[in-house]
Structure 1
Amino acid sequence: MQTILYARVSTADQTIEHQETQARQAGFKIDQVVADHGVSGLSTRLRDRTEGKRLFDMLRRGDTLVVRWVDRLGRNYRDVCDTIQEFLAKGVTVRTVINNMTFDGATTDPIQQAVRDALIAFMAATAQAQAEATKEAQKAGIEHARADTTVDNYRGRKPSYDREDVRLVQDMVSQGKGPSDIAKETNLTRQTIIRIRDRPAQAEAALVAWGL
């Protein structure tokens, strides 16, 4: 039996190392890391990614698949649900670093299965909704930066966060976590977290202005 971490980054400013470090700090004993670089989780299915498709051959009954959150598997509702259910049917346990969620196919109780499947569906729907919201925020941020005639002359203070931080904060907010709890799990201040949460377009505009 082995524990495999699957990591995915869609932009150059994100890092696989960050996801691996976060998993190990959370207490996961990782035997192998499988990662895809520069791949969108919204438009590309897991089995259509160079490394993602390897998981379907690598994982065996009794193995554990670890992901930072289900959005690493994908941000398309149907793809995420189908992927997790396929792994569970193979006897693979799926665990998340954030909130330490565990999904397996061990239970035969129909009520417990229904609750498990409903939670998987909710998480998958949240991943897609967050991706769509992020796209809109990025679009608004770019338009805001372009419309601001002072951007070229004065960009303001350089953001203390990057796009990976923005995605992480938005993921945790979507899970119902407050600024104080998020601050404990990240290197960001409460003020920064609140700014990202309440003014996503401005947060994106600052990244655009600084070319981040």
Structure 2
Amino acid sequence: MQEMMYGYIRVSTKDQHEDRQMIAMQEFGVSEKHIYMDKLSGKDFDRPQYKRLLRRLKGGDTLVVKSIDRLGRDYSEIQNQWRIITKEKKANIVVLDMPLLDTRQKGRDLTGTFIADLVLQILSYVAQVERENIKQRQAEGIAAAKAKGVRFGREKMPIPEEFYALRTRYREGSITARAAARELGVAHSTFLKWNQSIMKNL
């Protein structure tokens, strides 16, 4: 069977850098119809397109990624995916941002394979450490801002005077919460939230 070249792109839902990855793939010679892309949120790492690509990947095929962290979100996951692709699937990997991580020319060269594996371990470790450092800096920044009195999230909407009369009618059953919310020009959930906050303070 003919050996195929596939590309894989992973971006977060907040990140719009798939164009950069797509251009790099196409410049390398990966056909657009053979490029798989997952858009994920920070909490969601279920990669349906990547799993689909793995099922299609066979011995002798080549998987192209822009950077090593596209394979996983931490050191152990990157290592595991590298092993699955190169050892179990017996396919090749090309990491565009790191030419040393190109297994196509090193399959029969023990020294080349050793260098690629060593570079992989260093880069995947560095990628994980950098992610952890970013999280720590974000947490420290938020803590410092809170210490200075900076408030995060939306400011609470003040309860308007008209609310109290409508709340009385709502409690009496002469008006629904939705109708009361419409009269106030707020969301149904906001009216209920105001009602609950008053109940707690009674």
TM-score range, shorter chain: 0.5 to 0.7
Say which is worse superposed, 125-134 or 143-152, in terms of deviation: 143-152
Say whether 1:88 aligns with 2:86: yes
Find 2:39's aligned residue among 30, 37, 50. Answer: 37
Identity %: 27
What TM-score do you get using the length of structure 1 for normalisation? 0.58
- Aligned AA for 2:130? Q
Cα deviation for residue 106 of structure 1 reads 4.9
Cα deviation for residue 151 of structure 1 reads 9.9
Please show how residues 58-137 of structure 1 align to structure 2 within 5 Å.
Answer: 58-89=56-87, 90-100=89-99, 101-104=101-104, 106-137=106-137
Q: Which of structures 1 and 2 has the larger relative contact order (alpha carbons within 8 angstroms, sep 6+)?
A: 1
What TM-score do you get using the length of structure 2 for normalisation? 0.60
- Aligned AA for 1:98? D
Alignment CA distance shift 1:116-1:142 (3 Å): same
- Aligned AA for 2:119? L
Alignment correspondent of 1:8: 10
Cα deviation for residue 76 of structure 1 reads 1.5
Cα deviation for residue 78 of structure 1 reads 1.4
Alignment CA distance shift 1:22-1:114 (3 Å): closer
Cα-to-partner distance string for 1:12-37 (whole Å, 9 max, x where unaligned): 2333223112333xx31122221111
- Aligned AA for 2:28? F
Cα deviation for residue 150 of structure 1 reads 8.5
Cα deviation for residue 149 of structure 1 reads 6.3
Number of matched residues?
Answer: 146
Alignment CA distance shift 1:145-1:6 (3 Å): farther
Rounded to whole Å, the distance in 1 between the matches of 2:62 and 2:17 is 22
Q: Which runs of 4+ in 1 moved over 6 A?
A: 149-152
Rounded to whole Å, the distance in 2 between the matches of 1:79 and 1:105 is 24
Alignment correspondent of 1:138: 138
Instruction: Provide the alpha-carbon RMSD of the alignment.
Output: 2.8
- Aligned AA for 1:82? N
Alignment CA distance shift 1:130-1:149 (3 Å): same
Say whether 1:54 aligns with 2:56: no
Rounded to whole Å, the distance in 1 between the matches of 2:70 and 2:55 is 18
Rounded to whole Å, the distance in 1 between the matches of 2:5 and 2:141 is 39
Cα-to-partner distance string for 1:151-171 (whole Å, 9 max, x where unaligned): 99xxxxxxxxxxxxxxxxxxx
Unpaired segments of 5 or more residues in structure 2?
Answer: 153-202
Cα deviation for residue 66 of structure 1 reads 1.1
- Aligned AA for 2:91? V
Please say if residues 69 and 127 of structure 2, whose CA atoms lie closer than 8 Å, have aligned partners that are also in contact. Answer: yes
Please say if residues 88 and 105 of structure 1, whose CA atoms lie closer than 8 Å, have aligned partners that are also in contact. Answer: no
Please say if residues 10 and 38 of structure 1, whose CA atoms lie closer than 8 Å, have aligned partners that are also in contact. Answer: yes
Cα deviation for residue 98 of structure 1 reads 1.2
The DSSP-based 3-state class of the residue aligned with 1:98 is coil
Alignment CA distance shift 1:83-1:105 (3 Å): farther
